[in-house]
A and B are shown apart, each in its own frame.
Chain A
Amino acid sequence: MSDAAEGLIEIPAGPFLLGADYQQIAPEIRASDQAKCLGLGAVLAATPPHWVDLPAFRIMPRMVTNGQYREFWTAPHPEHPGRLFIDDYELWSYVWELYRLTDVRVPASERGSSLIEHYGGCHTAIDALVRSYAYEAQRLLLGHHMPPTEAGFDTVSRAVARTFAVLRRGLAHVIWPGTPLFDPGEREALSAIGSREQAIAEVHTVEEAVAERHGIATQGKPTPLQVILARLRRCLESGQESFSPSHIFRPLLWPDDSDRPKKGGLFMQRVPWEDLPVVGISLYEAAAYTAWLRVRSGLSFVLPSEAEYEKAFGWVLEGEALTPERKHIYPWQGVNSLDFNQWFSRDGHSVRALESRAAAYRSLLEDTARPIGAHKLYQGLGFGWQWTRERFSELERKYNRFAHAGCLRRRCGELTIYTYQDCVDVHCRYFVVRGAPDQLGGPGTVTRRFALSPLRGYEECGFRCVVSAAGDG
């Protein structure tokens, strides 16, 4: 089993160019873009260049793999033999405090309107995750959010309230440090459930209603909500009263019965499942992994910031002069001048398809890697979005945060160099992801950013860790 703390690549401190300008990228890339109408200018315009100072950090050469994550998911608690590490209330309380949410506005089914999800009273990240799924079920089935004091008013609303009350009760040990403090509506819902069979029936009712609304009752890929409901039902069917997060919130794409990888064909060797990046985990689960690494290694592991990701994959570390030419928009730039779509996002070049051809997959890894001295950074682009620890401000556009008068800055010749600071506004409901999945519109670049809800796992989103001064706090 590989050790995540080994092989970290050192990125020295110093200023670098965050973002990029279309006019300053390599001429051959620009020429290719114009000849092929790829739209690179539109992608780069969202992140205009700014010089920023960044402390030194160390970064994982690859995204966290299924194997590494499974190790965390099954790791024993260091102080409580017989318990899993992930069953510790402190762990989920810690990551919740790191990346707490308050109120989240989400689109409602009615056109032009929105609903508010309240997370201010959540105790841990698991609590927030349960509440988030409850909100989703309410929106989907009822069209609105029920207050926690409401135990339901008809069959479906009662089933929703009871289902998530049961789920919250089962996860109570990772939600409350001591005695559970249920809401009045939850208490009423729980008191109405006389037996396990009834609880299963309520979950089944919700599952059927969700499937009916999704129109995929018997076929199609299940949604995260359906996955969670199915896992809850199975837990109840197996006679469990208390659930481990590993039963409910394991990565969405992990098979429930067996996490063994598929075998390759007769003449093709499949990439070992353990070596593939873990995807389908929420920000909080990723953060919990970094917390586990910290406990295990003593290093200040943390999720990377936007700037740390971008510097590692897009800045030429050799050289003294601060010139835009040192900024690369592809990790492999400098090795070759091929653009993103040469490997990704096009017919016949799916990364998923290559997972069944280990040799081709390894070749892709090597071709798209970024050399850092004698080492290489892999999976910087095209292998999935990657969680960062930074919040996504919906008010920010084109890095206008640097136009703020309060930004720390210094002059270096003609350049203004800002001291990079993470976006930590607790009112932001999204977190930034970097790295680009295999399939996206326009070319992926190391400057490209997107925003995802931290309470969901996404099929196209994994993560990697850094050891950074930010983790010392």
Chain B
Amino acid sequence: MSKAMTCFDCGQTLSIVTSTSWKCGNLLCPGGTIKYLCGFCKQPSFSNKLRVCSNRACKTHGLRRDPCPDCHNLSLVTIEGATFCINRRCPTNAQRISTCPACNTLSLIHLPHFDICIKSTCRDLLRVQRRQAKADELTFIAAPAAPASRASDDARTPAAPLSQPAPTPPAPAPAAAPPAPAVEAAERLSAAAPPVAALSSEEQRPASAEEDPYGLSQSVFHLTARHRRRSAADAAAAALAPPAPTPEEPAKPPQSVAEGPAAAAEAAPAPPASGTPTTNEAAPSPPAPPPPTAQPPATAGSDAAALLPETPPAPPAAAPATPEPAAVPRRPPLRADSEIERAYAFIERALLADAERALAPIILVFGLSGSGKSTYLTMLGEILANRSSKYYFPYPGVSAHSIHLDDLIDRVEGEATPEARRSELRRRIRDLVYEYATQNYEEYLLNGAWVPATVRESGDEAAAHSLFLVTEIVRHSAVLGHLVTIETSGEDYLEVLLKLGKVRHIDELSSPLHRVLFRLVDAATGIIVLLDPASPDNDRLYAPFFRVIKDELEGRAAHALAQLVDRRLQAELQARQSEATSLQAVLEREEQNAQQRAAYEAARQRFAQDLRALANALASTPHTHEGVAQLAAQHQQRLDELELLMRRAAPEFMQRAEEQFAKHGRTATNYLLYFQGMLQALRDDAVFTRALRARIELEDSRSRQTDQVIARVLADLGIPEPEPLHEAFITRWNGRATSRRMERLRYLSLVITKSDRHPIVYPPSDYPKFKLPTSSTHLSTLATYLALLGGFLRCYNATAIGYAVQRGHQYCPGPGNSFTPVNIVEPLFDMLLSEAARR
């Protein structure tokens, strides 16, 4: 689907890229190859390179538009020495805009020496209107455009003379309806209210932590029309009382209420000023804090990219013989007290949470300084933008759609989201493919230069260098998922990397960016680790990281293996039973049954005897730590077995017991009571029988040489056996809770970048063995764990451009059409497709 238009700079044909951007077929086009929709003439004539509209018919033709530090649009112009923003929704215009007498729209900007209208359709657009007398000026400025309900806000407006004419009401919306019904009025009020107000009703909050384990609330993330109406109704009821803005929320300029989104869409002339990291962030006042219900799961982390599938991850199938692990306390809510965290919270609500309130798979791109993250992400976006027309892209039907941030904000936070909030999100969230990558590709790679390293952000956040890059991936016109990456400096990754193994709680990290990275790592479904082949520190720095991942995944892997083994044992048992068709076999089976009955009775006697012995031991143990220690030394195996059997036989009881145990403290007395309680519960015949069967089952499985079954299972999965797993691996984790950290991780890819300048390890799967000797011990085990979890560990030799040519004293990219990116999208799509197949 392409719409052909003509380039205003060179006359070549334009092909549409997004709804607001076009690509010129002339690579040498003087205005750059990417054109954006001019907000004034509505033509694809705005050159991001020249920052002017090339349409000679446009009234802004030749007028240079620079990035506005406040609204981050390319809308800062200088006319007659006065520099101002021509975005009507820019915060800088809030206090100096009024209704233009020519077009009757809220679009007249008052500048120190003249007034000027910035409405695109106004006949006086950008025409300097010099004020005749000071009295006129005062009169004009004083005309309030706010409804009466905002009188309290207006009272704060300085220099409002009392001798003004009657206030001019704001211009009605284009589709202004007759007298609005109550609901519509309520909606308007609701729209004007900050998001926190819209989320205040109780029914929008999750009922309990169990219903919303991550603290994600559907009503927060997907405000449907019904929700909005309900919120509006609440607001309407509240409107009976005088509207008092919350202290945290600055009063919204009344113009925004009256203007609506239509005017906003027009006022922003073209693309946001992406890639201009020097923008000043200090201007916008902090928006209202996110609602307390919008708490994403805690994670730990580094670079990230995420995919949102159409369906939430299915819960793992219940294991026939392995009980579910016990729950562990939930992580604390996200402290959204910084811009980057608020942006992350927004992304979680807008992109990462689907309709079922489950987190979508997240794929992180993790790389230290010099690993080529920016170049990698640029080429990733470039490939997603052009796909098979330029590059190798063997994913038919898959394409990337641009993310329209304002649409997302409208959908998630409502159309009345304050401009300050929008501006904040625009600073932190960019479209990966059509903004970030396109800009970097054209400015750097296509121009024979590398994408510069991302600047580390200073603590005062004066400049936004750490960005979330997002895009939407569709397959056959259906949304396949959303890709979310965070682009930040390698130094931040290094610090998080070093802390990953030490920090157990998110609050131990002081930097907001580190906390976000930490969360992303913990939330990741897959991690792409970019490795600089020239760095001698990879092994030293990453070994603890891989060890932590291995440790965190061990429990889940054990449970997964137990399930596989159980299934295999059952299948083998069924196969043996189905073989019993002949008379001889029937007789043998009868004999076996008789033997089993006898064995069952014997086992019953033994179990009862063991329990009696254990009860006596417990009864005779003094309630001291020394006594408990002595008991453990003599009966540890029986106690462990009892605990294990009870978890299988009476999981609810055990859960309550553990809670009580934890609640009242792990004293010696409680320890003894804990086991005595189990023995008490075993007096129930049903519980005893279940525990006995569990014991027989365990003994039976051992007798079937579980280790051999494990070996066969691993062989079937194609898992190499670096260190053979034994039954003890399963039993060690049987009934134990698995870690909640990295609980979704299934994929790990080591991407060795710059393979065009550095000798590779061939095959790349040997890279850990030769280049990461310390890490390889963890990685080999980790590969087994990941395979058991349905994922993989893979290594790739990657290059963003295929070959770098010497120019002067350094190696640089060659001409654009000679690029041969290798293994840039493959690590990502290998994970995504595997995940899709797994689902």
Contact = CB atoms under 8 A, between A and B. Distances in A.
Interface of A: 22, 35-39, 41-46, 105-107, 111-114, 136, 140, 214-216, 220, 223, 225, 341-342, 345-350, 392-398, 430, 437, 439-442, 448-452, 458-459
A345 B760 contact: yes
B443 interface: yes
Given A39-B798, A347-B770, 5 more contacts: A36-B764, A39-B796, A448-B820, A451-B817, A452-B814
A466 to B, nearest CB: 23
Given A43-B822, A395-B27, A452 B805 contact: yes
B395 to A, nearest CB: 11
24 contacts: A37-B823, A42-B823, A43-B822, A46-B392, A105-B28, A113-B447, A114-B447, A214-B809, A215-B809, A341-B763, A345-B755, A345-B760, A347-B770, A393-B817, A394-B815, A394-B817, A398-B390, A430-B814, A441-B820, A442-B820, A448-B820, A450-B802, A450-B805, A452-B814
Nearest to B795: A37
Contacts of A440: 756, 802-803
B452 to A, nearest CB: 8
B820 A36 contact: no
Nearest to B823: A39
Given A39-B826, A346-B759, A450 B803 contact: yes
Given A341-B760, A347-B759, A392 B802 contact: no
B808 interface: yes
Given A440-B803, A442-B802, A442-B820, A111 B449 contact: yes
Nearest first, the 9 A-B pairs at minimum CB distance are: A441-B799, A441-B756, A39-B822, A442-B822, A45-B392, A42-B392, A107-B448, A36-B763, A214-B809
Given A37-B795, A441-B756, A441-B801, A45 B391 contact: yes
B793 to A, nearest CB: 12
A22 B826 CA distance: 15
A238 to B, nearest CB: 27
Interface residues on B, range: 35 or more
A43 B817 CA distance: 13
Interface string B372-414: 0000000000000000111111100000000000000000000
Contacts of B443: 111-112
B809 A442 contact: no
A39 B762 CA distance: 13
Contact of B815 (A225, A347, A437, A451): A451
* Residues of B contacting A: mostly: loop
B815 to A, nearest CB: 5
Interface in B805-819: 805-806, 808-809, 812, 814-818
Nearest to A350: B759
Contact of A37 (B391, B757, B794, B814): B794
Contacts of B806: 223, 458-459
Contacts of B821: 42
Interface of B: 27-28, 49, 388-394, 442-444, 447-449, 754-765, 770, 794-799, 801-803, 805-806, 808-809, 812, 814-818, 820-823, 826
Contacts of A346: 759-762
Nearest to A140: B808
Given A347-B759, A440-B802, A440-B803, A41 B394 contact: yes
A46 B140 CA distance: 64
Contacts of B49: 112
A37 B755 CA distance: 13
B755 A441 contact: yes
Given A36-B765, A37-B826, A112 B801 contact: no
Nearest to A347: B759
Nearest to B765: A36
Contacts of A36: 762-765
- B761, B797, B808, B809 pick with most chain A CB within 10 angstroms: B809
A451 B820 contact: no
A350 B762 CA distance: 13
Nearest to B800: A441
Nearest to A432: B818
A180 B822 CA distance: 50
Given A37-B795, A346-B762, A136 B820 contact: no
A348 B394 CA distance: 33
Contacts of B389: 397
A36 B763 CA distance: 6
Nearest to B771: A347
Contacts of A22: 392, 394
A441 B797 contact: yes
Contacts of A430: 814-815, 818
A394 B27 contact: yes
A133 to B, nearest CB: 11
- A439, A442, A449 pick with most chain B CB within 10 angstroms: A442
Nearest to B801: A441
A136 B802 contact: no
A214 B763 CA distance: 36
Nearest to B819: A46
Contacts of B826: 37, 39
- B27, B764, B794 pick with most chain A CB within 10 angstroms: B764
A342 B762 contact: yes
Contacts of B795: 37
- A105, A112, A393, A448 pick with most chain B CB within 10 angstroms: A112
A347 B761 contact: yes
Nearest to A341: B762
Contacts of A43: 392, 802, 820, 822
A390 to B, nearest CB: 13
Nearest to A44: B392
A440 B755 CA distance: 7
Contact of B797 (A39, A46, A449): A39
B818 A450 contact: yes
- A106, A346, A395 pick with most chain B CB within 10 angstroms: A346
B223 to A, nearest CB: 40
Contacts of B756: 439-442
A441 B759 contact: no
A441 B815 contact: no
Contact of B442 (A105, A112, A140): A112
A442 B815 contact: no
A46 B802 CA distance: 11
Contacts of A41: 392, 394
B830 to A, nearest CB: 8
Nearest to B393: A45
Contacts of B761: 346-347
Contacts of B394: 22, 41
A441 B818 CA distance: 12
Contacts of A450: 802-803, 805, 814, 818
Contacts of A345: 755, 759-760, 762
A347 B761 CA distance: 6
Nearest to B25: A395
A334 to B, nearest CB: 22
Contacts of A349: 759
A216 B809 contact: yes
A423 to B, nearest CB: 12
B762 A42 contact: no
A46 B805 CA distance: 18
B447 A441 contact: no
Contacts of B814: 430, 450-452
Contacts of B760: 341, 345-347
Nearest to A339: B762
Contacts of A44: 392
A450 B817 CA distance: 9
A439 B390 CA distance: 24
A342 B394 CA distance: 25
Nearest to B824: A42
A54 B823 CA distance: 34
A394 B26 CA distance: 10
A41 B805 CA distance: 22
Contacts of B823: 37, 39, 42, 442
Contacts of A451: 814-815, 817-818
